[in-house]
Amino acid sequence: MNIGPYTLPNNLILSPMAGITDLPFRSVCRQLGAGLAVSEMTTSNPALRHHRRTRLKLENSGEKEPRSVQILGTDPHQMAEAARFNQANGAQIIDINMGCPAKKVCHVAAGSALLRDEPLVQRILEAVVSAVDIPVTLKIRTGWDTSSKNAVKIAHIAEQAGIAALSIHGRTRACKYNGDAEFETIQQVKACVQIPICANGDITSPQKALDVLEYTGADALLIGRAAQGQPWIFREIEHYLKTRQLLAPPSLLEKKKIILQHITQLHAFYGDIMGVRIARKHLTWYFKRINPLLMPRVKESFLLQTPVEQLNFIDDIFTTLIQSEHHTA
């Protein structure tokens, strides 16, 4: 798949997720098969640009190319300025967020709330595309609610504005993450525009990935929540799309190696105190997928305060798991 001048190694993209797709997680997912990984959404408000949390969201040193940064806002001028700022700081693709359903985002008419104002969507897209000389992509939902699905109209606006690729989550803003994603709208959009279309929503297995690609005709897939606790899902899907055979899941030893690497990177990236805190949610996702019965031990580990204690906990729990596996073999 191509986005502007960039040819991705495959058509599997880590979807931007607030508080999750930081540099350490993006790096792990790219290592395990994601063809592209998009940053957390970053505000276009220049007053917040130099806050430590914002700077960490924008950090991309050592990241595999192309580097994609997502921006959020409602003012065309501010969005254009944010795009220029991020290009100057290493972004190679600018992604515009018009898909986030969070109440605090929609309350200020940003994210998926913008879908209710098509003229403003057009002004923002045109302003950002004209502000930079790198590809600009867009992420949307199918509409504000089920009675006002306007993804096809937004897709035409995006194509005319010069958007390089369009990602669509198969739910409306009103749906949030409830119910099942629908892919009919994505199929309709794909049939009426020429720009690459990326399908998103409930892509939780290699088989589902193939089904969605075949049904929608999409050029690529965005995978978000399904990568939490199992970043190796990208290589599993890639293998299945190529061979129609399921790849064996990683062994406990490989999972241990991946998790230790990821958690160590979090400690280094955020510092000891913040790194340990942020690692807790990732450990919850990892071990819940490995064995939900581990959750009481994982919650107890939240009392640990230092990187060494947290890494020792991971080592101890895997020692128990591997010994149990040997006993039952």
Q: Which residues are catalytic?
A: 100
CA distances from 21 to 24, 54, 69, 229, 295 (A): 8, 13, 11, 12, 23
What is the token pair recorded at 253?
């030893």
CA distance 158 to 276: 41
What is the token pair recorded at 93?
């693709």
Task: List beta partners, residue 199.
Answer: 168, 221
CA distance 210 to 175: 24
CA distance 155 to 205: 27
Peptide bond into 66 cis (omega under 30): yes
CA distance 37 to 31: 11
Q: Work out the burial of residue 187: count CB atoms within 10 Å of its CB; fewer than 13 is exposed, 13-18 middle, 19 or more buried.
A: middle
Q: Work out the burial of residue 31: count CB atoms within 10 Å of its CB; fewer than 13 is exposed, 13-18 middle, 19 or more buried.
A: middle
CA distance 327 to 315: 18
Is 165:135 a contact under the CB 8 Å cutoff?
Answer: yes
